[in-house]
Amino acid sequence: MTEPAEFWEARYSGSDGVWSGRVNPTMAEVAADLPPGRALDLGCGEGGDVLWLAERGWQVTGVDISPTAVARGRAAAAAAGLPEGQVRFVADDLASFAADGEYDLVTACFLQSPVELNRSGALVRAAARIAPGGHLLVVTHAAPPPWASALNHEHHPQQFLSPEQEIAALALSDTDWQTVRAEIRTRSATGPDGRSADLHDAVVLLRRR
């Protein structure tokens, strides 16, 4: 069985760039209403969301299991001229990453993997580091795109959760957490085979009381 670190490092190192470098539109729309503070981006990839947050005054830590992805994030931050200390990239497994201090925002956009990954455990551990009044934002694929079967080959089948299932999997206390958003959004996208389709994303925003 392929380990997550091996799979994702091969994915990033096998091409010059995996993602567009642009911010996730849903993350940008939600975070635009939040006052800047300390943020943690789980599975940050090449750093598009990290840079967007930092450019708007957040002090951001991005964590990804792939050293190649993290190196690209650091290079992008340097190219953008972001102040030293405002952006930090860490190459680490989310299962063992030790967050420092408290955060006002934890984001996880498309933290889904065709190899087995304890994503709910990672989200719960990170949520424990959110300060009172802070937020946890999770954006996921709610259903597979039509081209997914060509990409997943022999790996671990992915889970596609509704917002309600995502919240249930986190099992956070209603006493301590308020659900701000739990919705499905539709967007248009073009797959690697050139096909266009409407994709469905689950969006969950929780606020620590």
Task: Tell me the residue range of the domain where 189 lies.
Answer: 4-10+31-208
Tell me, yes or no, whether 21 lies in a domain. Answer: no
Tell me, yes or no, whether 194 lies in a domain. Answer: yes
**Furthest-apart CA atoms within the chain: distance in Å:** 47
**Looking at residue 84, what is its pLDDT?**
79
**Number of residues that make up the chain:** 209
Domain count, the chain: 1
**Looking at residue 151, what is its pLDDT?**
47
**Looking at residue 156, what is its pLDDT?**
47
**Looking at residue 209, what is its pLDDT?**
97
Residue found by looking up tokens 């030790």 in the block: 98
DSSP 1: -
**Looking at residue 112, what is its pLDDT?**
86
Tell me, yes or no, whether 186 lies in a domain. Answer: yes
Mutual orientation of helices 163-170 and 119-127 as an angle, nearest 10°? 70
Q: List the CATH number of the domain containing 93.
A: 3.40.50.150
Q: Say if CB 87 and CB 63 are below 8 A apart.
A: no
In Å, how far are 19, 34, 56 from 37, measured between CA atoms?
26, 9, 10
Residue 66 CB-density burial (10 A; 0-12 exposed, 13-18 middle, 19+ buried): buried
**Looking at residue 180, what is its pLDDT?**
97
Tell me, yes or no, whether 40 lies in a domain. Answer: yes
**Looking at residue 158, what is its pLDDT?**
60
Tell me, yes or no, whether 15 lies in a domain. Answer: no
Provide the whole-model pTM: 0.91
DSSP 21: S
Q: Which residues of the chain have pLDDT under 50?
A: 150-154, 156
